[in-house]
Structure 1
Amino acid sequence: MLSSFSNFPLDLSGDHHIHTKLCNHASGEMEDYVRAAIAKGLRSMTFLEHLECGLRYEHQIWLTPELFGQYFEEGSRLQQKYAGQIEVRLGVEVGWNALAADELLAELERFPFAHRGLSCHFHFDGRRHLNLLSSRQEHIDALAALGADKVLEAYFASLTEACAVIPCDKLCHLDAALRHLPDIRLTVRHQEQISQLLRLMADKGIALEVNTSGYAVRPLPYPAPA
């Protein structure tokens, strides 16, 4: 429950992790989300569209520069239309890929993102990028074959590396890589990695996102309080 985070400063007046159909895993128009947010009494909202670079992956679930242009054009129109009713921010969710760090940094400079979330959605197995958050059995089986402990260790190491390199405001869905893998358990090593990551975030002023999409998979947000 969100009440488990009551000792921490949570902003419950806005939704700051909203995707659009431009990334091919959401639906509806951007304006639909703005109207829904106003109807729910939210004071602010942030579209957080996907930026990924250098992936060997068969599906396009991130925005190209051309699509980011469309995103900003429509987002700017909505900011003006709904000014005074809700604050609409145009942000980005940066997917970390150590093999494309320079490209990611260059792409971040192309647009005036008002908010930057940081994530790691893929595990590179030496041949292709496996989607850690995918429910496709092919990816679940491939990750399980690599070993859950190994995948999680690489995941937390990647997040730490990403926080050191990418200028960002928050880290998204800390334990979402636990979503579909069977027989998941956090080892002492994983706990040490998480502690190291959180210390780095504190030093850099990076917030930890509480992402309620976890409720669709388990009765807890990302991350779980534990």
Structure 2
Amino acid sequence: MLLRTESRALPWRSPLAAALVGLLLAAVPWAFAPELDQGVRLNVLRATALCGALAAAFLLDDPARHTTGAVPVPRPLRQALRVGLVLPVAALWWAAALLLSQRGDAAVRAEGLPYGAVTLEAATLCALAVALSAGVVRCTGVCAPGAGVGGAVLALVVVVMALQPDGFELFVPLRDPRWEVAHQRWAVLLAVAVLGWAGCAPDPVRRLGRRRG
């Protein structure tokens, strides 16, 4: 029953639109420029991953939030169910994006892309979007943080890519000597984002106190 309720409450339209844009981006090298080198393909996949993060930003949107807040099911469980419902779809979507990125010129495909590392980047961006949405829901009365959080994630990625601060490079090119260190940072950021979501998912203590009173 709870799974069905959360499935109906999920704002499918905005995440699906962002996911569709991501797939269209992933198909660019295959459809229009199959001879693109691996560096360009990597950046296309990163753009696709960003679209996935924009989709994830909308997962916690709940126009009926102030009504569902009175139900006995704790908010962390409701949020976990939402993410769990979307996770298989997201995995299939990302697999499709990776397959699309492999199409095209055989010589280019033979070089291979570090799909595991790019998947780590994508997972981190999505986890960050969910964590930020959970933080907005916990700290404000906003029912639909998706648009604002999506804009914040997009702005953050653009700033990080533009500045690439020394000692905190994240979006490094292929065969760059900083590649391994950069993806260690991605792994740390993923852990921080998951912990941040776990910390922001529960109802605020003050609100719990009023409810008990």
- Report the TM-score, using the length of structure 1 for normalisation: 0.30
Structure number with the higher strand fraction is: 1
Q: Which has the higher contact order (CA 8 A, sep 6+)?
A: 2
- Report the TM-score, using the length of structure 2 for normalisation: 0.32
Structure of higher CA gyration radius = 2
Structure number with the higher helix fraction is: 2
